[in-house]
A and B are shown apart, each in its own frame.
Chain A
Amino acid sequence: MFLVELFVQGLIQGSVYALIAVGLTLVYGLLRILHVAHAGLFTLGGYAGVLVTNATGSVAVALVFAALSVGAVGMAVYRFCYEPILRRPPYVALIASIGLFIAMEELFRIVFGPFGLTYDIVPLQGSVVIGGMYLRSAELVTMALAAVLIGGLGLLAGRTRIGLAWRATVSVPEMAESFGIDIVKVRYLNFFIGSALAGVAGVMVSVLNNLVEPTMGSVASYKALAIIVLGGLGNVRGTLVAALTLGVIEAYGTIYLAGFLDRDAIAFAVLIVILMVRPQGLFGRSA
């Protein structure tokens, strides 16, 4: 029973990871940039969640607001930060992104204070019993949101014109351009969707913990970097599997590795072990 509970907790955490990591892997797939500042957008979502919920009393409004506003900020990040340096060697964008992320974290600290914000009334407080297991409503909503949003993304990518254009752009950019696909539009869409998902994840994490703090993005989102590597950089399905698997491994690891390794280091231990065996990631194609 205990093992099953751990498994479910792992899936919940894995859903959060998935929401964050999908945006990151999409950016990598499209631009070959390790978008570290994605973590800052996740934190921004957390702040949007707390502030809007406290102002309106509705976490649903907060979720929509966070998705739209963080999505818009994501597009701005692309326009003003990445677009001008796309032609430079890859480390340039990576280091710029790290700088941007650190600056964002500091801005949160300066604007909202170092100690973080909490909900006036914590939303989604109820709980349900499923198969003898207590699950908080917030946890169920997190999993449901992850399933619906990522499932919807899959439909969008697989069934719509813009989705096809998107996939074409990711796999063969030059070709896509010659077919008259507007690559720039696809990039904006990509940043909007990826950032919106991170924003939603930020809201849900702030609800789950009843806390949003400036450094909320650090660990979770570096972990997202590890996840997209495991998933084979740019591979969405691989990323999903890696996110859920890591959530579960961590859930067990926290119990069974506690004396040896910090929870947050498990992801990287797994990452390093796996990269040693498969340098292209779990689901990456070999070069």
Chain B
Amino acid sequence: MIGAYEISLLTTIGIAVTFALSLNLVTGFCGQISLGHAAFLGTGAYVAAMSVVAGAPFAVGLIAGGLVAAAVGAVVGLASLRVRHDFLAITTMGVGFLFVGFTRQQDWLGGEMGIAGIPEAPFGKVGLMVVALGVAAATAAFSVYLKRTWMGFAFDAIAADEDTARTVAIDVSRYKLAAFALGTGIAGLAGGLYAFNIRFIAPDSFGFVESVTVLAMVVIGGIGSVLWVTVAAAALAVLPQWFQAVDDYKLLLYGVLLFTVMRLSPGGLAGLVARLVRGVRQ
């Protein structure tokens, strides 16, 4: 039998993997950098929490969280159509700050204090773990599938060079919107699970640090690589729980890792492994 600790750990991993893969879809597949992805985790969490607090069934809360996050994401995607590259990085960072700045001032969302006492899921902690792991597995499977579809193929072109993608008749704007809607919708799902797992949410749970954390997962795994982003997300989610020292210096670790990976292997773990394999073969 697994104990309460392992259950909570596995739930956390499931949520982290889902969240990281959702960013990987936008940044890795479609090449659109986002520095405010936690805002969509937050949107999903708030919508799900408010729904169940108001008496809606958990599944409804979860799905509503995903849908609202996707809708907000599509709006942000509209913004991304106007700006590119560096401007996009700062715009998405701004979206993250706007989310925190907005929720803090909303009394109906609990203001700075957030929402406490989110009811426990009727399917219990084990049930939640199963749902979280299931959503993570489904997201990974969907990512792998997406990469093989013509949508994923068009994303490749856009990530490489969006002007040239237009010259092969790809409607870059609509594809970017689709990427944002999918990625933020899945982030919203992860947010709902987060709210049900922690059962307390506040604006600062979804700030810049969380956006950087999820970016770290994607970057360290290797931008675009489903397998290694999953590995990196799981590792970065459990390390702070296993090692108190890691927990204390979590941000230092993320910071140093982000820097070191960019400096030494911008392809992340995926790039590193590919290079090793190539080295061994030769």
Query: Is there a contact between chains A and B in the complex with CB atoms less than 8 Å apart?
Result: yes
Residues from 251 to 273 in B contacting A, C-beta threshold 8 Å: 251-252, 254-263, 266
Q: Choose from A99, A262, A281 the contact partner of B105 (Cβ within 8 Å).
A: A262
Residues from 53 to 93 in B contacting A, C-beta threshold 8 Å: 79, 82-83, 85-87, 89-91, 93
Nearest chain-B residue to A219 (Cβ)? Answer: B97
A265 at the interface (CB under 8 A from B): yes
B182 at the interface (CB under 8 A from A): no
A271 at the interface (CB under 8 A from B): yes
Q: Choose from A32, A99, A271 the contact partner of B90 (Cβ within 8 Å).
A: A271
Q: 1/0 per residue A276-287: CB within 8 Å of B?
A: 100101000000
Residues of B within 8 A of A95 (CB): 215, 219, 258, 262
Q: 1/0 per residue A206-243: CB within 8 Å of B?
A: 00000000000010001001100100010000000000
Nearest chain-B residue to A272 (Cβ)? Answer: B94
User: Do A85 and B95 touch across chains, with their CB atoms under 8 A apart?
Assistant: no
A94 at the interface (CB under 8 A from B): yes
User: Do B98 and A269 touch across chains, with their CB atoms under 8 A apart?
Assistant: yes
B100 at the interface (CB under 8 A from A): yes
User: Do B255 and A272 touch across chains, with their CB atoms under 8 A apart?
Assistant: no
B240 at the interface (CB under 8 A from A): no
User: Do A110 and B249 touch across chains, with their CB atoms under 8 A apart?
Assistant: yes
Contact status of A99 and B101, CB under 8 A, knowing A90-B85, A271-B91:
no
A88 at the interface (CB under 8 A from B): yes
Nearest chain A CB to B142 CB, angstrom units: 24
User: Do A260 and B105 touch across chains, with their CB atoms under 8 A apart?
Assistant: yes
Contact status of A85 and B87, CB under 8 A, knowing A262-B105, A264-B97, A275-B79:
no
Q: Choose from A89, A93, A102, A271 the contact partner of B212 (Cβ within 8 Å).
A: A102
User: Do B104 and A262 touch across chains, with their CB atoms under 8 A apart?
Assistant: yes
Give complex CA distance A269, B97 in Å.
Answer: 9
Q: 1/0 per residue B98-124: CB within 8 Å of A?
A: 101110110000000000000000000
Give complex CA distance A93, B33 in Å.
Answer: 13
A34 at the interface (CB under 8 A from B): yes
- Size bracket, chain A contacts: 35 or more
User: Do B101 and A272 touch across chains, with their CB atoms under 8 A apart?
Assistant: no
Residues of B within 8 A of A89 (CB): 266
User: Do A103 and B90 touch across chains, with their CB atoms under 8 A apart?
Assistant: no
User: Do A265 and B85 touch across chains, with their CB atoms under 8 A apart?
Assistant: no
Give complex CA distance A267, B87 in Å.
Answer: 15
User: Do B87 and A92 touch across chains, with their CB atoms under 8 A apart?
Assistant: no
Nearest chain A CB to B211 CB, angstrom units: 10
A180 at the interface (CB under 8 A from B): no
Q: Which label, helix, strand, loop or mixed, suits the secondary structure of the A interface? A: helix
Nearest chain-A residue to B250 (Cβ)? Answer: A106
User: Do B82 and A103 touch across chains, with their CB atoms under 8 A apart?
Assistant: no
Nearest chain-B residue to A262 (Cβ)? Answer: B101
Residues from 128 to 180 in B contacting A, C-beta threshold 8 Å: none
User: Do A229 and B90 touch across chains, with their CB atoms under 8 A apart?
Assistant: yes
User: Do A268 and B255 touch across chains, with their CB atoms under 8 A apart?
Assistant: no
User: Do B86 and A34 touch across chains, with their CB atoms under 8 A apart?
Assistant: yes
User: Do B85 and A96 touch across chains, with their CB atoms under 8 A apart?
Assistant: no
User: Do A218 and B262 touch across chains, with their CB atoms under 8 A apart?
Assistant: no
Residues of B within 8 A of A99 (CB): 216, 254-262
User: Do B258 and A268 touch across chains, with their CB atoms under 8 A apart?
Assistant: no
A135 at the interface (CB under 8 A from B): no
Q: Choose from B79, B105, B255 the contact partner of A101 (Cβ within 8 Å).
A: B255
Nearest chain B CB to A115 CB, angstrom units: 16
Name the 7 nearest CB pairs between A and B, nearest first: A265-B101, A99-B258, A103-B255, A268-B94, A262-B101, A102-B255, A99-B259
Instruction: Tell me the B residues contacting A by CB distance below 8 Å.
Output: 33, 35, 79, 82-83, 85-87, 89-91, 93-95, 97-98, 100-102, 104-105, 208-209, 212, 215-216, 219, 249, 251-252, 254-263, 266
Provide 22 A-B residue pairs closer than 8 Å at the C-beta atoms, listed in order of the A residue.
Answer: A85-B266, A91-B85, A95-B219, A99-B261, A103-B252, A105-B251, A106-B251, A110-B252, A226-B94, A229-B87, A258-B105, A265-B97, A266-B101, A267-B94, A267-B97, A268-B93, A269-B98, A271-B91, A275-B83, A276-B79, A279-B83, A281-B87
